[in-house]
Structure 1
Amino acid sequence: MALNIVWIAFILVGFMAAFGQMLAGDLGVFPKMLTGLFDTARTGFDISIGLVGVMSLWLGLMRIGEQAGVIGLFARAAAPFFRRLFPAIPNGHPAGGSIVMNFSANLLGLDNAATPLGLKAMRELQQINPQPAVASDPMIMFLVLNTAGLTLIPTSVIAIRQTLAVEQGLVGFNAADIFLPTLIGTFISFSAGLLAVAWMQRIRLLCAPVLAFYGGFIALMGALYVGLRGLPPDQLAQRVSLIGSLTILAIVALFVAAGALRRINVYEAFVEGAKDGFGVAVQIIPYLIAMLVAISVFRTSGCMDLLMRGLAGLIGALGINTDFVPALPVGLMKSLSGSGARGLMVDVMKTHGVDAFPSRVAAIIQGSTETTFYVLAVYFGSVNIRQTRYALACGLIADAVGLVGAIAVAYAFYH
Structure 2
Amino acid sequence: MYSTGQWVDMYCDGLYKPVCSNVTGHNVAFVFINTPMSWMEAQRYCREHLTDLAIPRNLSENEKIRAVIPGGVYSWIGLHKDTWKWSDGSLYVFNRWTSGHPTGGEKNAQQVVKVKLVGNSALDLNDPAVLGNLQAELKEKVKEQGVAAEIKLSWKKQLDGKIFYKEKKDQNWKWSLPDEDFYSNDQNIRNWAYAEPTSPWFTAECVHMYDNGLWNDAPCDWHYGFICANISGQTVKFVFINTIMNWTNAQRYCRQHYTDLASVRNLQENEQIRTMKPGVIAWIGLYRDTWKWSNGNLYLFYYWASGQPNGETEKCTSADFSLSGRWNDWSCSLKKAFICYLDAVPFTKQAVKLQLVGNSALDLNDPDVLEKLLEELKQKVEDQGVRADIKLSWKKCPNGKTFCKEKQKDQN
TM-score by length of 2: 0.21
TM-score by length of 1: 0.21
* Structure with the largest fraction of helix: 1
Larger radius of gyration: 2
Higher RCO, Cα 8 Å, sep 6+: 1
